[in-house]
Structure formats: C-alpha cells, structure tokens
Amino acid sequence: MTEILQQMFDDGIKRYEAGEPARDLVPLFRQIVDQQPKNGSALTCLAWLYLLSDDAPRALKAAKQAAKLNPADAQSYVNLALAMLDTNQKGVREPVERAQQIFTVDTQQAEEVHKNLTDALDRKPGWKAVLKVQQWLYPPSDGL
C-alpha cells in the first residue's frame, strides 16, 4: 500500500472505531480499492461497510474478492458468509468452516471477529445473518 493510501486506510479505521456511520465510510474505502484492486484488507473493510449499509450484493462481490486475496483472514470469510445469507445464496457452510479453521490457529482473529460481530449488532440491532453466524462460530457453552 502506498503511504497515502495507507494513511487513508488508517484514517478510515479510526473513523469507524469512533462510531462514524458505515455508509459515510464506503466512498473512502471504495477509493482505496479503486486504486489498489488487489488490496485484500481494504476489500474486507469495504465488504463489511457494504453489509452494514444494507448493500449485500456489493458486499458479496467485495467479500468474494477479499477471501480470494486474503485466505488467512477470518473476517473476509465471515463477511462472505454474511453477504451470502443476506443475498439468499447457498453454500454458507464453506466460509463459516474456513473461519473456524483459522480460529484454531489464530485465537486473536477469533477475538477480533467476535468483537466485530458484537459491534455489528450495536450498529444494526437484530441483524439475523449476524445472529446466525455468531451462533455457528461461538456456540453457547453447555457448561460441561
């Protein structure tokens, strides 16, 4: 990533974390992706922002590209699963299982995805796809 695009990316992340609406951040990440179409991290963020902005078809396209470019990033697979659910696609099990596989070797990603899904429900309460994926990835403990 060039220095300017990296700064734009970092600024976008800070603005998101400060609570800026996802819809307002889409143009920034779209610009980064337009200039660097093989930037998997920016595509992952763009897919997430599209999902939060109720634009599942665009999220699906970005999530597919992100998962292909960033095969070790669990969030890209979670975004893909969410976009597939929100567009009534079949085959959701595959990206969910891929995210689970990544979690087994990288617990930090498991924590980050959990935080992101919780944030998604704060920003978009009752989001059925997130509730479903959250249950698959983090099933309630039986206490056994």
* Residue keyed to tokens 């698959």: 136
Domains of the chain, residue spans: 3-137
What is the model's pTM?
0.94
| SS3 label, residue 31 | helix
pLDDT tens by residue, 55-111: 999 999 999 999 999 999 999 999 999 999 999 999 999 999 999 999 999 999 999
Cα atoms found within 13 Å of the Cα of residue 96, Cβ hemisphere only: 19
Cα 140 to the chain's mean position, in Å?
Answer: 22
With 70 as the cut, is the pLDDT of residue 6 above it? yes
Task: Please provide the size of the chain in residues.
Answer: 144
- Measured at the CA of 143, the angle between CA 140 and CA 144, to 5 degrees, comes to 120
With 80 as the cut, is the pLDDT of residue 144 above it? no
With 80 as the cut, is the pLDDT of residue 142 above it? no
Residue 26: predicted pLDDT: 98
Percent of the chain topping pLDDT 70: 97
Query: What one-character-per-residue DSSP string does 57-126 give?
Result: HHHHHHHHHHHHH-TT-HHHHHHHHHHHHHTT-S-THHHHHHHHHHHHH-HHHHHHHHHHHHHHHHHSTT
Of 67, 7, 2, residue with least CA distance to 41: 67
Q: Mean pLDDT over all residues of the chain? A: 95
Residue 5: predicted pLDDT: 93
With 90 as the cut, is the pLDDT of residue 140 above it? no
CATH architecture assigned to 3-137 = Alpha Horseshoe (1.25)
For residue 97, report the phi and psi dihedrals to the nearest 5 degrees.
-65, -35
